[in-house]
Structure 1
Amino acid sequence: MSEVRPNYITPGGFAAMRARYEHLFGTERPALVEVISWAAGNGDRSENGDYIYGRKKLREIDRELAHLSRRMKAAKLVDPARQGDRSKVFFGAIVTIVDDDDVERTVTLVGIDEADASEGRISWISPLAHALKGASVGDVRRVSLPGGMREYEIAAIRYPDP
């Protein structure tokens, strides 16, 4: 059996994942089981839309619960507020970068499960994050993106307060 790679995640990301798991397990799943039980009591299950849809939805919830459980089990919490060297970009850093066109953008390097590019949270294994890791303010890094090669200058690095 293959070993599960660690799932690096911030404390906030882990809390959100746990909250999602608890909501599904404690609220959505029991309510759905109740609907399925009610629908099963209505007779012929082969043409019972509530029963068929309920069972399908229950399988989806159970799959998501299993996925979240695996991800939480593999989670390795990394608190960026405890980062010793705050002069370089590491996991959890909040980095302000400037591109070739002088467009400024702020990104935070986070775990795979908490990445959301529209919110400025990029996965620590993304091409941009790989290019930024280890950089200091003033460094210029080249990144190969789907739109072509781009250069970014690191304008600022900060970490959450302890």
Structure 2
Amino acid sequence: MSRAFVNEDAGKDRPDLPDLPLSAHPNFVTPRGLADLRARLAARQGELAALRARAERLDKLPEAAAERDIRWLEARIASAIPVDPARHDLTEVAFGLRVTVADEDGRETTYEIVGEDESDATRGRIAPHSPLARALMGARVGDEVTWPRPAGALSLEILSIAHADDPTA
């Protein structure tokens, strides 16, 4: 028989999608970040169950994508290193704390150092391995730190340190 008539994909009932990359950094998480990962996992598992319950299942790509996402979320949860920010005193900037800084022009900005999966620049949440977080970690109120940015270094003064759930901060 000619090779032209052999279906090499026979028996393959779902597409293979490459796994999502896992970070090489330690997976520190806040309690909120861990809860969010667990909620995302539960939601994706629910979506997968709904996809598998479809009457028409010719397109297996959505199922494969959900399975891939579930594997990634399970790996992130398994590698999580929970850190309770409430255990930190507020003498220096640490993981899970909120810090307010002033730049050279006096503009104030507040950042929260959170886990990589929880980081969101639009909400002022930064990952602990980012250049800004590395510059802030260990600093105390009144200290001046240098944030090495591609646009040029920026000097920041630490104005306050608070717990993230503190509404007065």
Asked if TM exceeds 0.5, the reply is yes
Q: 2:15 is matched with which residue?
A: none
Deviation at 1:39, TM superposition (A): 1.6
Q: 1:155 is matched with which residue?
A: 159
The answer (yes or no) to whether the contact 1:92–1:109 under 8 Å persists in 2 is: yes
Q: CA RMSD in A?
A: 1.7
CA distance in 2, matches of 1:57, 1:98: 46
SS in 2 for 1:113: coil
Task: Please identify which structure carries the higher helix content.
Answer: 1
CA distance in 2, matches of 1:98, 1:7: 29
The answer (yes or no) to whether the contact 1:5–1:74 under 8 Å persists in 2 is: no
Q: How many residues align?
A: 143
CA distance in 1, matches of 2:86, 2:164: 5
Deviation at 1:6, TM superposition (A): 3.7
1:92-119 superposed Cα distances (whole Å, 9 cap, x missing partner): 1100011112111000001111101111
Name which structure has the greater RCO, CA cutoff 8 Å, separation 6+: 1
SS in 2 for 1:148: coil
The amino acid across from 1:75 in the alignment is: A
Q: Is 1:39 matched up with 2:59? A: no
After superposition, where does 1:89-104 map in structure 2 within 5 Å?
89-104=93-108
4+ residue runs of structure 1 moved beyond 4 angstroms? Answer: none
The amino acid across from 1:78 in the alignment is: V
Q: 1:44 is matched with which residue?
A: none
After superposition, where does 1:81-160 map in structure 2 within 5 Å?
81-83=86-88, 85-160=89-164
CA distance in 2, matches of 1:160, 1:95: 9
CA distance in 1, matches of 2:158, 2:81: 27
**Distance change in 2, residues 1:106/1:161 (3 Å):** closer
Q: 2:37 is matched with which residue?
A: 17
CA distance in 1, matches of 2:77, 2:160: 32
CA distance in 1, matches of 2:153, 2:33: 31
CA distance in 2, matches of 1:119, 1:61: 27
Deviation at 1:155, TM superposition (A): 0.6
